Amino acid sequence: MNFLIVGLGNIGEEYAHTRHNVGFDVVDDLATDTGVKFKTERYGAIAEVKVKNHVMILLKPSTYMNLSGNAVRYWMQAKKIPLENVLVISDDLALPFGSLRLRGDGGDAGHNGLNHIQETLGTKKYARLRFGIGNDFPKGYQIDYVLSGWSPEQLETLPERITMAGDIVKSFCLSGLHRTMNDYNKR
């Protein structure tokens, strides 16, 4: 069975390893763990990772965040992936740093990437893994905050949280959405 795992982020060195690109960092970690390299394809970079009898098609859209839905729709069609086998990984200001929340549907919470995916697919009913980045910024500095790097304190535990996010992705593919939510959303 094939799954499309979409890590949201923006392409370009100036965005690399910023809070907004944590979705890219999670799929990069999944690829690195298995020695797989990303290939530049239409609408993004793609890598295929086998987990037991399943294939995770990892996608880092090249459309920039605000047009992420174009990449998701294209690769769903190209690889014939049903909506229930799609998981989108995004940053979330509303969650404390390092918190991980898996949901089967919901709103975009003001996230432009999730908003475009929702508009493009015509539904809110797709799985998303939200990676908490916290909201420790002065009023009016949200954009600067999400596009900046992690604090030294956050960098200490970030690798462990990225690995945990990868474990959630693998569980989603192997055990399904509801069991994974039960197992991980409590932590």
The pLDDT score that the predictor gives to residue 139 is: 85
**What average pLDDT score do residues 34-46 get?**
95
In this predicted structure, what is the pLDDT of residue 8? 97
Phi, psi (deg, nearest 5) at residue 61: -60, 140
Cα separations in angstroms, 42 against 71, 172, 174: 8, 26, 27
Element (DSSP H or E) covering residue 127: strand 127-132
The 8-class DSSP code of residue 10 comes to -
Q: Average pLDDT, stretch 52-77?
A: 95
N- to C-terminal Cα separation, the chain: 28
Work out the angle between the directed axes of helices 68-78 and 112-121 (0-180°, nearest 10).
Answer: 50
Catalytic residue chosen out of the listed positions 20, 54, 111, 116? 20
SS3 59: strand
Q: How confident is the model at residue 21 (pLDDT cuts 50, 70, 90)?
A: very high
**Reported confidence tier of residue 143, pLDDT bands at 50, 70, 90:** confident
CA dist 159 → 8, 50, 93, 137, 164 (Å): 17, 22, 19, 22, 9
Torsion of CA 6, 12, 14, 15, to 10 degrees: -10
DSSP label at residue 155:
H
- Number of Cβ within a 10 Å radius of residue 125: 12
Question: Considering the chain, what is the average pLDDT of its residues?
Answer: 94
Q: Does the structure show a pLDDT above 90 at 186?
A: no
Catalytic annotation on 20? yes
pLDDT of residue 100: 97
Q: Which residue has the tokens 């799954």?
A: 3
> Which of 28-32, 139-143, 153-157 is the least confident region?
139-143
What structural domains and CATH numbers belong to the chain?
2-184 (3.40.50.1470)
